[in-house]
Chains A and B, each alone.
Chain A
Amino acid sequence: MNQKSVIYFVSALFVALIFTSCSKDVPTLSKTAVTPGAQSLYVLNQGTMNQNNSTLTMYNLADSAATTDWFTTQNGVGLGDTGNDMAIYGGKIYIVMNVSSYVEVTDFKGKALKQIPLFNGTVARQPREIAFYKNKVYVCSFDSSVVRIDTTTLAVDGITKAGSNPDGICVANDKLYVSNSGGLNYPNYANTVSVIDIPTFTQTKTITVVTNPFTLKAGDDGKVYLLSRGNYGSIAGALQQIDPTTDAVTATYPGSAAVDFALDGTKLYYCNFDYSTMTSSVKVMDLTTNTATDFITDGTAIPLASGIAVDAATGNVYVASSASDYVSNGTVYCFDSTGKKLFSFAAGVNPWKMVFIR
């Protein structure tokens, strides 16, 4: 990082303290809360399947130091196989481990607090994504289940059923939205989102969406945003908007095939890797006008975009990229809100989800 970008970055951090924003994890309709500046950034690296090489990379924003396998540094053991989601709630970090089939709970230093195994008898549930609501944790798994975990006991206290191979979950309008990917039913992917009533913890309806849906996020506008992968053939992946008051799809954004997206106020950032051209792209869409433009303005090329996150305090955008061979260590790039690269650092194998420690 050169001196200019350090100055720029530090001032951006400072400015961020003044600006107001709202975090992904506690959605509110108005931007009144002040998001404190992040001290560090955690990156969950998926690893490669069956290699037990999923890692948690810690990037210290104060001294620009990255520790690739921070979890092992802190705990003496590894995370296990295929980390798929990570989120912060109630002063703890929750890490969803897909093939190892458990949820790891750590403190902000990455020290393990509890491992919550997710098995149906002897069959791994294969958890995928996580959401939170009123001191409960909700985890959707490939085995169609949504489990409820109490945040004080950190034990499973309820299980319900969604559709085929759930691959995304969020809370909006006091309801759970779970995407049913059917991802293990190639080529017969599913195309629904289950709506689950939280008090009764049962599915009340399904919404038809673009084929093979996965990540779901609730926006600051109260809407649900959904990303689908398509069928890797005739049906392209797309971003969609669902209105949780009517549970109807209210927008399907054209040309929005993506591998991940992130929300920041009225901005929706999404990144993609196009296999036909072998190029990555990062776009930003203004949700007030629904127009998308290229985000990166300084010509920085991302090898293989895999994940994206926005620091609500600074508006800085972090883009995770796999190595071009998918099996060696990837990189995380940080851009300012105008799309100019500030810095980058080495993460683990197939970096993907990112959270900010404030």
Chain B
Amino acid sequence: MLFFTPFFGVVSAAFRHGKGATLLTLLFFLLLSKPIMAQRDTVHVIPEVTVTAMPLPHLSNTTVPLQTFNAANLAAMNVLQLSDVVKQFAGVTVKDYGGIGGLKTVSIRGLGPTHTAVSYDGQLMGDAQNGEIDLSKLSLDHVKEISLANGDNEDPLESARAFASAGLLSVVTMRPHLDSLQRYRAEATMQTGSFGWIHPSWWMANRWSRHLSTTLYLESQYANGQYPFTIHNGDSIQHLQRTNSDVHLFHGEANVFYIPDSLHQLTAKVYASGGARGLPGAVIFYNPYSAQGQRLYDNDYFLQARFTSVLSKKSQYAVSAKAEDAITRYVDPYFLNSSGGLDNQYRQQEYDLSGSFAQRFNQQWQLSLASDVVVNHLSANLYQFAQPSRVSSYSSVKGRYANSWFHAEAALLSTFVADRVALGNDSPRHSRLSPMVSVSADPFQQLHWQWRAFYKETFRMPTFNELYYTGIGNTRLKPETAQQWNVGTSYWTSGSVGYLSFSIDGYYNRVINKIVAVPSGNLFIWSMLNLGLVSIHGVDMSLRGETRVANGIHVTMEGSYTYQSALDKSNPQNSTYNQQIAYTPENSGAATAGLLMPWMNMSYTLLFSGYRYDLSHSLLPGYSDSSMALWRKFSWHHTSLTVKGEFLNLWNEQYAIVKNYPMPGRSWRVSVGIVF
């Protein structure tokens, strides 16, 4: 990796290959002469540029708020898991049940986790059963970029399904950057730490020919997860230890990159993961044995492929397909039924076929068409389970206009969803049109001061659990609608000493027909109803900068702050009416400062959250969680060794994000990685 301007960050080693010099010149010219949005809109006749160039990190010039962490940012972060990275984005609430194996879901701007889609290397991750993606399933290793887009990610070949969600969290993994001189590259990493954490991993990239390369990634994670915690009961403080929170995970994937020429590209991924974890559950007062026996086993396999083709300077298309099979098994041997425990097994299958096409008419006008057909099926060994299947079709049309200082987009998404069940009643079919409009302007082009606004309406289908879970589901549920209005501005400046960027967005969102669970009959039997209306307004702010203080010494900083007023407008009779919704802090934020030196790198990260309400509308105190890392990279020719040590939750703050699910206190982690 080499730095070529302090602000444009890193350009990958790919440029060392044949066309490097030309590309570098082109890229340099492109980046300096125009705002980055222009680059994103151009049909890429040099696709390698999109692949390897890092745009201005975190705060790019887009019509919608887009936040990005690239590999260099991630390396400088002292985080345990991918979910901890996501916590640093503005406008995001990660619901974290604590520990390595605990469920972690992401909600953008108070809309709830079911309105956030997660894409992994360009394809959406699906969970028709629960509707929310558990971020603990995703590995942080070999991630090239994590980005969060509200509204639209501006990729002209974005799939219609990705566009169908209110927000999109994208995780993109490393691609091989090899040439004829270096035909392979491998990295072995070993990490260990508190609570029995052992995490070996192996990454290998091979270049088989000028056109074909592959990567292979294998990792395993183990932790006993037995961390001490304190919890308040009235005036007393109890010192306890989390039990039944062990994690055993394996994840392996292989990626194939076939690039026959500069106009075509085929990528494919084979993915397999398996896990076994204890579910410690909520801490129950006076019941020292509440955390025992409950376990979750999951196996997830998928295959995905994507082909992109540039037809001419004006048109391009992409076709992709995915097939997934995911098996989950939940056991509770101490459940007091007559068969002596629970053993619930669920199997989800998903097939996704997607196509998109972008046509540019002239310098200003562009049209994108995209379509997805997704088939989901869920089977379970529950009594009288509906065994539902769902066919969803998404079609989007987007028109864009862009000139040197103004950019506008209008899009319309048509969705059709039909369910079929083997037993019981189908949910009615749903057919919807969802609009989006966005504008952005860069009136003072030399000043890099951009303004933007968008409106987007999306909906999410009730999940299979909400509709069909035996005894709980309600097939009459309507979809939940999310409306987003956003205005914002961003500014950046750069010079020989470094760069500074700042972004602020104000938004107003509504969630209509919010699906909520209510107990029916008694606390053991719950039912689902479209009861809720949530009105959210908030402000997201981000700041990022880097400066060179001396030769080879850089100081980096990034910060985000979120103000969110997410009010329950469901029922004036409720005591929570007009009050902040559960688990959504009014104030939250994150900050990271880094000191990069030739002999050592250091960083300090702080996460903070103001008070929140729990589900019973009682207050949960705010918290802050600090961590720090020291690392150094030693290089000899093509080989490098990275040693990193981290302290997480440095000040041993005892807190819970979800009531009665305590987070770990102070812990440490050491990793050694060798790249050759």
CA distance A115 to B286 in the complex (A): 9
Contacts of A222 in B (CB 8 A): none
Assess whether B240 is interfacial by the CB under 8 Å rule: no
Contacts of A143 in B (CB 8 A): 336
B525 & A48 in contact (Cβ 8 Å cutoff): no
With A50-B660, A51-B282, A184-B524 known to touch, is A325 a contact of B289 (CB < 8 Å)?
A: no
- Give A43-87 as 1s and 0s: 1 = Cβ < 8 Å from B's Cβ atoms: 000111111110000000000000000001001111011100000
B575 & A323 in contact (Cβ 8 Å cutoff): yes
Assess whether A27 is interfacial by the CB under 8 Å rule: no
B576 & A50 in contact (Cβ 8 Å cutoff): no
- Give A114-129 as 1s and 0s: 1 = Cβ < 8 Å from B's Cβ atoms: 0101010011101000
B614 & A81 in contact (Cβ 8 Å cutoff): no
A111 shortest CB reach to chain B, Å: 14
Assess whether A23 is interfacial by the CB under 8 Å rule: no
B286 & A80 in contact (Cβ 8 Å cutoff): yes
- Give B377-399 as 1s and 0s: 1 = Cβ < 8 Å from A's Cβ atoms: 00000011000000000000000
The size bracket of the interface on A is 35 or more
Interface residues of B in 520-577 (CB under 8 A from A): 520-525, 527, 531, 570-571, 573-576
A194 shortest CB reach to chain B, Å: 15
B570 & A325 in contact (Cβ 8 Å cutoff): yes
Nearest A residue to B288 by beta-carbon distance? A122
Nearest B residue to A69 by beta-carbon distance? B234
Assess whether A164 is interfacial by the CB under 8 Å rule: yes
B285 shortest CB reach to chain A, Å: 4
Assess whether B496 is interfacial by the CB under 8 Å rule: no
Nearest B residue to A212 by beta-carbon distance? B521
With A78-B234, A126-B336, A187-B383 known to touch, is A52 a contact of B284 (CB < 8 Å)?
A: yes
Contacts of B614 in A (CB 8 A): 51
Interface residues of A in 322-358 (CB under 8 A from B): 323-329, 349-350
CA distance A71 to B337 in the complex (A): 32
User: Of B286, B337, B618, which is in contact with the most chain A CB atoms at under 10 Å from its CB?
Assistant: B286
Which of A124, A186, A323, A350 makes the CB contact (< 8 A) with B471?
A186
Which of A77, A182, A323 makes the CB contact (< 8 A) with B233?
A77
A184 & B660 in contact (Cβ 8 Å cutoff): no
B235 & A77 in contact (Cβ 8 Å cutoff): yes
Contacts of A81 in B (CB 8 A): 284-285, 287
With A48-B615, A102-B286 known to touch, is A329 a contact of B523 (CB < 8 Å)?
A: no
With A102-B286, A165-B336 known to touch, is A52 a contact of B520 (CB < 8 Å)?
A: no
Assess whether B428 is interfacial by the CB under 8 Å rule: no
Assess whether A24 is interfacial by the CB under 8 Å rule: no
Contacts of B337 in A (CB 8 A): 165, 184-185
Assess whether B651 is interfacial by the CB under 8 Å rule: no
Assess whether B335 is interfacial by the CB under 8 Å rule: yes
A116 shortest CB reach to chain B, Å: 11
Contacts of B519 in A (CB 8 A): 326
Which of A49, A53, A100, A187 makes the CB contact (< 8 A) with B286?
A100
Q: Interface on chain A toward B: helix, strand, loop, or mixed SS? A: loop
Contacts of A328 in B (CB 8 A): 574-576, 616-617
Assess whether B281 is interfacial by the CB under 8 Å rule: yes
A51 & B615 in contact (Cβ 8 Å cutoff): yes
| Number of CB contacts from chain A to chain B under 8 A | 132
CA distance A232 to B289 in the complex (A): 31
Assess whether B676 is interfacial by the CB under 8 Å rule: no
Contacts of A102 in B (CB 8 A): 286-287
Contacts of B525 in A (CB 8 A): 186, 232
- Give B333-362 as 1s and 0s: 1 = Cβ < 8 Å from A's Cβ atoms: 011111100000000000000000000000
Contacts of A78 in B (CB 8 A): 233-234, 285
With A232-B471, A232-B520 known to touch, is A50 a contact of B284 (CB < 8 Å)?
A: yes
CA distance A329 to B613 in the complex (A): 14
Interface residues of B in 282-300 (CB under 8 A from A): 282-287, 289-290, 292
CA distance A184 to B516 in the complex (A): 23
With A99-B284, A326-B518, A328-B574 known to touch, is A82 a contact of B523 (CB < 8 Å)?
A: yes
A100 & B289 in contact (Cβ 8 Å cutoff): no
CA distance A47 to B617 in the complex (A): 12
Assess whether A101 is interfacial by the CB under 8 Å rule: yes
Could you list some 5 contacts between A and B, CB below 8 A?
Answer: A48-B615, A185-B338, A187-B383, A325-B570, A328-B574
B-binding residues in A (CB < 8 A): 46-53, 72, 75-78, 80-82, 97, 99-102, 115, 117, 119, 122-124, 126, 142-144, 164-165, 182-188, 229, 232, 259, 275, 303, 323-329, 349-350
Q: Please give 20 more A-B residue pairs, beta carbons under 8 A apart, in addition to A51-B660, A97-B286.
A: A50-B660, A52-B283, A77-B233, A99-B287, A100-B286, A119-B289, A122-B289, A124-B334, A165-B336, A165-B337, A184-B336, A186-B383, A187-B471, A232-B471, A232-B521, A323-B574, A324-B571, A326-B518, A328-B576, A328-B617
5 nearest CB pairs, A to B: A50-B282, A77-B234, A80-B285, A76-B235, A122-B289
